[in-house]
Structure 1
Amino acid sequence: MELGLVIIAVDELAPAVLFWRAFTRWVVTEDVPGVYTELRTPRGLRYGLYAEQHYLANLGSAVPELAAAGLQRTEIYVTVGDARGSVSRATALGASLLADVSAKPWGDDVGYLRAPGGIVLAVAQPSTAEP
């Protein structure tokens, strides 16, 4: 079994697509305006952004609220060479800082943001802190 695609339902598709394209520089491979946009990473992972109302319609039944306070219960964890610089870039592109970059017990320095669409974006690099 292989992971073929990650799909995230977002409240507003256009700002989410603009943010993820600008932040990641991933290529758009599928685009149904106002409904769904799919991006592909350099290693081939497919990342789909789905307008929430269309996503929920696919589920065929009433769905409880997805999240409180506008946050998805989903985290996109990206590894970068400069976490602080990437956090700054993400905020300049419209993300809101949730937690500044700090050392985590699993060995990464990670900052957390709310990306457009309510997705939690974790920006990580190998820890620079002394053990």
Structure 2
Amino acid sequence: MEEFEFILYVANQENSTLFYESLLKIKPCLNVPGMTEFKLSKHVKLGLMPESGIASIISPQMPDPKKGNGIPRCELYLKVKNADEYVKRGILLGAIEISELKNRDWGDKVGYIADLDGHIIAFVEHNN
């Protein structure tokens, strides 16, 4: 595998694009009707696809993603410096705080928020 892309199904592509652009402080590398992509690292991208767009591909074999909006369906586990700043910025942008930044049993310091569609974002500082 040469590159990885994780795609979140979103209710409103424009609102989610603005949210992630402001949260991550990076511009999309692609932003066209039906798909927004952010390059997170050399080989990893985060994609945002409208629920209606993916529904036309996967339905009727799979349930319409709109039916799951607001239900946690994935977690982005993002290792960053200053995780507290990301958590606070996310809340200011409309995210819901799920769990405050604190040391976890597995050795990381992690704070959890939910984005505009209920996807869970964990901001992580690795404890050395």
| TM-score computed with the length of structure 2 as normaliser | 0.84
Secondary structure, in 3 states, of the residue corresponding to 1:18?
helix
Q: Which amino acid aligns with 2:113?
A: L
Counterparts of 1:83 and 1:41, CA distance in 2 = 16
- Which residue matches 1:40? 39
The answer on 1:52 being equivalent to 2:51 is yes
Deviation at 1:40, TM superposition (A): 1.2
- Which residue matches 1:110? 110
- Runs of 4+ in structure 1 deviating by more than 6 angstroms, as ranges, are none
- Which residue matches 1:26? 26
The answer on 1:7 being equivalent to 2:7 is yes
Q: Which amino acid aligns with 2:23?
A: F
Q: Does the 8 Å CA contact 2:80/2:124 hold for their aligned counterparts?
A: yes
Secondary structure, in 3 states, of the residue corresponding to 1:38?
strand
Counterparts of 1:63 and 1:45, CA distance in 2 = 26
Counterparts of 1:60 and 1:68, CA distance in 2 = 14
- Which residue matches 1:89? 89
RMSD: 2.2
Q: Does the 8 Å CA contact 1:95/1:113 hold for their aligned counterparts?
A: yes
Counterparts of 1:58 and 1:101, CA distance in 2 = 38
Identity within the alignment, %: 26
| TM-score computed with the length of structure 1 as normaliser | 0.83
Q: Which amino acid aligns with 1:121?
A: I
Counterparts of 1:89 and 1:69, CA distance in 2 = 22
Counterparts of 1:104 and 1:9, CA distance in 2 = 29
Deviation at 1:113, TM superposition (A): 0.5
The alpha-carbon distance between structure 1 residues 31 and 77, as it changes in their structure 2 partners (threshold 3 A), is same
- Which residue matches 1:63? 62
Tell me the number of residue pairs that the alignment of Structure 1 and Structure 2 aligns.
127
